[in-house]
């Protein structure tokens, strides 16, 4: 194998240049001339004539650096092989870079040409004196040539920094490719002094005088003096009295005359209520002066009371009182209920009246002035309150509600039971314990005047008119009292049936029972016969005696208290031993209809009727 290679080498050398020309496609460019010769082919070529981009980057360090730092044209187009743009073997003087700069798309470099940049010639930016990349500079030193590499895409490369580094190096924070002026991208809101109000319309040179300098050799600086307060630009028109105050404590950028934020509570007169909406010049007339040097002293008239600014509409009755005794700054008609002393008037407020809003009594009506609405001539209760009694006490009490009510509450009434005792209907017995509404509430209305003070005004006649003639003079108290309804004072001795003995202690309804469909017991027309209340235990043995049947034998003191005289009222007088014989010995019990009764008559009067077998 070795001998064969030696033989091939000798043959090539014998043919000289003609053989080399047949193997190489042409001469290399001046930049790659040192790679001439067959032994150097593999410096760029892989096997099979393939050009490797990696072999290119092994020598071209400046390109490798661009790829590694991930910026520039070659990085953005790394997918394309080097031979797409670079051609070799075209001759010693040939250029290896093949592209039309007039058709070149600069966007592919990462620096798009827009606006004024789009019309600039390539050489204006891609000049040798503007190359700053160390690798490119080294390559140019070894192989001098024209190149578009090594230019940083930053403004100071081409443009002089007019601001002398005071605003950084990235001009694109404020400027764009349309032109140096105006600084279209500049936002004052990003500075330490955002513009607002009147500041927005001021020309930049008003605050930045360096902008008026047209000498481009001098730096354009925007550094200002301290601007934590306004005095750097605006002279204060105030006297020393306000020298320790910051302008911003009163003024805003909306305008000198627009005062906002001033804390008036720090003065001797805090603004509250309506005062907070009054224009400053109302109380500080010197604010109407014109001119930047006009002094604003803010002096006012004495303000111990409202009189310097407000005229009192009241009469001399309030001359000894200050306005603040009644009024507040909220509004003139809003009288302070906390500070106004109503006891100064002829109508002191007590009880519930002290809680009533002023306008409830002092509301303006129609064209009535504020002063007129507070001067009330009428002070009686019906002037404000509806007469719930509908004039019932207009004559007797002259509508003087205080006779029964006070300011603490309308209910309960202050009318006492003792006062009721002096009325035409004194309260006694059970009446004294009845709530007022029990008698005075009629069909959901309170009634205090009655045509008659009779019982039937409140109580239903349980006797259904049977005693109407008797009640014409005295009503129910003829028989009843207010203590207890069932406690009756009726004198039964005045009737045809005086009560004696057991009858005197018997309950009324024992005799006066409900003997009809009526709801009340029957009193008049009640039978006076014993049979009207008592059953006949003798089974009619004495029915022939008529009305004298019971009273002939029994007394009212008790059923067993007999007054029967056997010697007078019977046909069998008791004499001798008969006088001592027990009644039941001769009058045995008998049974009739399943019930026992004692046989008194008729009985046999012969001796053998009782003494059989003993004679």
Give the number of domains in the chain. 4
pLDDT category at 210 given cuts 50, 70, 90 is confident
Tens digits of residue pLDDT in 68-89 = 888 888 888 888 888 888 888 8
Residues 221 and 279 in one domain: yes
> Greater confidence, 285 or 370?
285
Which residues on neighbouring strands pair with residue 327, listed in sequence order? 335
| CA atoms of 265 and 271, how far apart (whole Å) | 7
Look up residue 477 and give its two tokens.
């108290």
Residue 363 has pLDDT above 80, yes or no: no
Residues 198 and 226 in one domain: yes
Diameter of the chain measured on Cα atoms: 212
| CA atoms of 349 and 22, how far apart (whole Å) | 131
| CA atoms of 43 and 51, how far apart (whole Å) | 10
> What is the predicted pLDDT for the residue at 13?
41
**pTM to 2 decimals?**
0.40
Tens digits of residue pLDDT in 110-139 = 888 889 898 888 888 888 888 888 888 888
CB distance 225 to 232 below 8 Å: yes
Residue 432 in any domain: the answer is no
Look up residue 175 and give its two tokens.
């400027």
Residues 542 and 599 in one domain: yes
Structural domain boundaries, residue 44: 13-153
| CA atoms of 328 and 559, how far apart (whole Å) | 95
Residue 2 in any domain: the answer is no
Rg (CA), the chain: 68
pLDDT category at 517 given cuts 50, 70, 90 is low
Tens digits of residue pLDDT in 41-57 = 888 888 767 788 888 88
Residues 84 and 20 in one domain: yes
> What is the predicted pLDDT for the residue at 241?
67
Residue 10 has pLDDT above 70, yes or no: no
Mean of per-residue pLDDT scores for the chain: 80
pLDDT, average across residues 256-280? 81
Residues 145 and 198 in one domain: no
Residue 373 in any domain: the answer is yes
Residue 238 in any domain: the answer is yes
pLDDT, average across residues 138-155? 84
Residues 32 and 125 in one domain: yes
> What is the predicted pLDDT for the residue at 444?
81
> What is the predicted pLDDT for the residue at 12?
40
Which of 268, 288, 308 is a domain's end point? Answer: 288
Residue 392 in any domain: the answer is no
Residues 20 and 136 in one domain: yes
Residues 212 and 274 in one domain: yes
Residues 227 and 349 in one domain: no
Residue 477 in any domain: the answer is no
Sign of the dihedral defined by the CA atoms of residues 593, 599, 601, 603, in that order: positive
Residue 271 in any domain: the answer is yes
> Cα dist. 190→181, 193, 324, 451 in Å?
19, 8, 51, 95
Residues 144 and 63 in one domain: yes
Residues 270 and 326 in one domain: no
Environment class of 82 (CB within 10 Å of its CB; exposed 0-12, middle 13-18, buried 19+): buried
* Cis, peptide link before residue 121, omega less than 30° from 0: no
Look up residue 248 and give its two tokens.
């911003």
Q: How far apart are the first and last CA of the chain?
A: 198
DSSP 306-365: STTTS---S-GGGTTS-GGGTEETTEEEEE-TTT--GGGSSS---GGGGGS-HHHHH---
Percent of the chain with pLDDT over 90: 0
> Cα dist. 556→325, 363, 496, 502, 505 in Å?
90, 82, 15, 6, 11
Residue 371 has pLDDT above 70, yes or no: no
Tens digits of residue pLDDT in 548-566 = 678 888 888 888 888 888 8
Residue 11 has pLDDT above 80, yes or no: no
Percent of the chain with pLDDT over 70: 88
> Cα dist. 141→128, 325, 378, 409 in Å?
11, 99, 117, 113
> Greater confidence, 252 or 240?
252
Residue 6 has pLDDT above 50, yes or no: no
Range of weakest confidence among 102-111, 263-272, 333-342, 558-567? 333-342
Tens digits of residue pLDDT in 375-412 = 776 678 888 888 888 888 888 888 788 888 888 888 88
DSSP run (H or E) holding 419: helix 417-421
Residue 208 in any domain: the answer is yes
pLDDT category at 1 given cuts 50, 70, 90 is very low
Residues 135 and 177 in one domain: no
* Three-state DSSP string of 546-601: HHHCCCCCEECCEEEEECCCHHHHCCCCCCHHHHHCCHHHHCCEEEECCEEEECCC
DSSP run (H or E) holding 416: none
Q: For 264-303, give one letter per residue: b (16+ CB within 10 A) or e.
A: eeeeeeebeeeeeeeebeebeeebeeeeeeeebeeebeee
Which of 269, 288, 307 is a domain's end point? Answer: 288
DSSP 258-287: EE-S--GGGSSS---GGGGGS-HHHH-GGG
| CA atoms of 118 and 113, how far apart (whole Å) | 5
């Amino acid at each position: 194998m070795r001998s064969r290679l030696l033989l091939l080498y000798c043959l090539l050398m014998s043919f000289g240049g003609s053989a080399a020309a047949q193997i190489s496609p042409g001469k290399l460019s001046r930049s790659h001339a040192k790679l001439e010769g067959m032994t150097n082919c593999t410096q760029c070529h892989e096997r099979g004539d393939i050009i490797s981009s990696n072999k290119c980057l092994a020598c071209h360090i400046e390109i490798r650096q661009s790829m590694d730092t991930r910026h520039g044209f070659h990085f953005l187009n790394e997918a394309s092989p080097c031979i797409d743009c670079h051609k070799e073997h075209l001759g010693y003087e040939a250029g290896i870079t093949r592209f039309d700069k007039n058709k070149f798309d600069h966007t592919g470099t990462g620096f798009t040409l827009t606006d004024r940049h789009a019309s600039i010639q390539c050489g204006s930016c891609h000049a040798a004196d503007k190359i700053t990349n160390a690798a490119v500079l080294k390559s140019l030193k070894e192989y001098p040539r024209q190149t578009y590499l090594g230019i940083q895409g930053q403004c100071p490369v081409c443009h002089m920094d007019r601001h002398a580094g005071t605003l950084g190096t990235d001009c694109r924070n404020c400027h764009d490719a349309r032109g140096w002026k105006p600084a279209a991208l500049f936002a004052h809101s990003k500075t330490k002094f955002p513009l607002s109000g009147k500041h927005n319309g001021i020309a930049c040179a008003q605050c930045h005088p360096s902008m008026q300098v047209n000498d481009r050799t001098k730096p354009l600086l925007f550094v200002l003096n301290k601007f934590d307060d306004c005095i750097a630009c605006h002279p204060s028109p105030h006297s020393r009295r306000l020298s320790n105050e910051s302008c911003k404590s009163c003024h805003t950028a909306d305008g000198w005359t627009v005062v906002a934020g001033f804390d008036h509570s720090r003065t001797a007169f805090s603004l509250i209520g309506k005062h907070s909406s009054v224009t400053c010049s109302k109380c500080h007339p010197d604010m109407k002066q014109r001119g930047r040097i006009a002094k604003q002293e803010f002096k006012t008239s004495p303000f111990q009371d409202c009189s310097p600014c407000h005229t009192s509409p009241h009469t001399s009755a309030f001359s000894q009182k200050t306005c603040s005794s009644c009024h507040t700054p909220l509004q003139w008609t809003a009288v302070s209920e906390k500070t106004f002393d109503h006891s100064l008037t002829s109508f002191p407020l007590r009880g519930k009246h002290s809680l009533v809003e002023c306008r409830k009594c002092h509301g303006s009506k129609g064209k009535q002035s504020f002063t007129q609405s507070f001067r009330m001539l009428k002070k009686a209760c019906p002037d404000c309150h509806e007469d719930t009694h509908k004039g019932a006490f207009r004559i007797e009490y002259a509508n003087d509600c205080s006779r029964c009510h006070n300011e603490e509450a309308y209910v309960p009434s202050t009318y006492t039971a003792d006062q009721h005792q002096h009325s035409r209907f004194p309260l006694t017995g059970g009446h004294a314990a009845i709530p007022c509404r029990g008698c005075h509430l009629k069909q959901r209305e309170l009634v205090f005047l009655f045509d008659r003070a009779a019982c039937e005004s409140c109580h239903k006649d349980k006797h259904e008119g049977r005693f109407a003639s008797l009640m014409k003079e005295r009503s129910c108290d003829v028989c009843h009292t207010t203590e207890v309804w069932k406690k009756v004072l009726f004198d039964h001795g005045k009737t045809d049936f005086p009560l004696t003995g057991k009858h005197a202690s018997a309950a009324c309804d024992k005799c006066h029972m409900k003997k009809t469909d009526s709801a009340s017991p029957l009193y008049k027309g009640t039978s006076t016969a014993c049979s009207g209340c008592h059953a006949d235990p003798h089974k009619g043995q004495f029915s022939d005696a008529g009305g004298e049947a019971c009273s002939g034998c029994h007394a009212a003191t008790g059923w067993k208290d007999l007054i029967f005289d056997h010697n007078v009222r019977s046909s069998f007088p008791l004499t001798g031993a008969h006088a001592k014989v027990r009644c039941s010995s001769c009058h045995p019990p008998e049974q009739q209809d399943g019930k026992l009764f004692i046989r008194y008559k008729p009985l046999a009067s012969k001796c053998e009727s009782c003494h059989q077998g003993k004679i």
